[in-house]
Amino acid sequence: MVGGGKWIALTFSDHCDLSTVVIPEDGRHRLYSRWEERLKSLREHIKDWAPAEKADVELFIDCNLVHAKKQEWHLFDIRELTEDWGKTVAKRVVRLLDTA
Per-residue pLDDT tens over the stretch 29-63: 999 999 999 999 999 999 999 998 899 899 989 98
pLDDT band at 23 (very low <50, low <70, confident <90, very high): confident
Instruction: Place 13 in a pLDDT band, splitting at 50, 70 and 90.
Output: low
pTM equals 0.82
Buried b / exposed e over 22-46, threshold 16 CB at 10 Å, is eeeeeebbeebeebbebbeebbebb
Residue 1's pLDDT is what? 43
